[in-house]
Structure 1
Amino acid sequence: MLAATYRFHGHGSLGYLYRNGRAIRSRCLTVKYIANPRRKYPRFAVVVSKKIYKSAVRRNRIRRRIYECIRRELPNLSNAGDLAVIVTSAEVLTMPAVELDSLVVQLLRQACPR
């Protein structure tokens, strides 16, 4: 599980990120990001819409899988900013862990260059 220091919640924070952030897209995921110089550490949110899966159990499983990929990549990220990983395809639930991990790492490295 990702520590609370690295997570953010709330419609205000996400709304600001959606309005002002930049996006990097792949076939299954979108990463919205914006620099936040007031923060010491990066903050992450994972958004899985009910349009992807109606079942909360499956949406939470997707969320946990992505948070785990982020947790493993955290020591390699240096920029402080706000990032939201938005799931755009139901394929993420059945995707092999190695493939999901490489996809998330690739997007995070584009959003947070060293």
Structure 2
Amino acid sequence: MALSAENRLTKKKDFDWVFRKGNAVRGNFLFIRHVKNTLNKPRFGFIIPAKVFKKAVDRNKVKRKLSECVRTDWLQDINNYDIVITANKKGETKDILTELVKLLGSINR
């Protein structure tokens, strides 16, 4: 199951807003930008560059794993944020998901 449409960033202007006004948190595998929004819900966007993950199959797999982790673990815990998660380095899926939990925890404090 995927994130609902109301919890996704889809428009270019939303991504641009997060990149222009947001704060950054960096890990070994992920780069997260986040900014407070006026909505009463979190919205997430995912960027998986073709430079890092050459095959579309790999990009889609990483995007699905990140989206599922956010949906199951973080959707109720984070409010009023627009968050863009960028994968900037290849790694084992479990390592990437562990780092995602750690970085999202640092945002939520």
TM-score (norm 1): 0.86
Look up the equivalent residue of 1:14 and give its one-letter code: F
2: distance between equivalents of 1:70 and 1:101? 9
Match of 2:105 among 101, 106, 109: 109
Give 5+ residue unaligned stretches, structure 2: none
User: Across the two proteins, how many residue pairs are aligned to each other?
Assistant: 108
Distance 2:36 2:100 in 1: 19
State whether residues 47 and 85 of structure 2, in contact with CA within 8 Å, keep that contact through their aligned partners in structure 1: yes
Give the conservation status (yes or no) of the 8 Å contact 1:31–1:85: yes
Q: Quick check: 46-55 or 25-34, which moved more? A: 46-55
RMSD: 1.5
Matched, 1:13 2:9: no
Deviation at 1:2, TM superposition (A): 1.4
| Residue identity (%) | 25
Cα distance in 2, alignment partners of residues 96 and 13 from structure 1: 27
TM-score in terms of structure 2 length: 0.89
Q: Which runs of 5 or more residues in structure 1 are unaligned?
A: none
Partner residue of 2:24? 23
Equivalent in the alignment of 2:80: 80
Residue 90 of structure 2 corresponds to which residue in structure 1? 90
Equivalent pair of 1:77/1:109 in contact (CA under 8 Å):
no
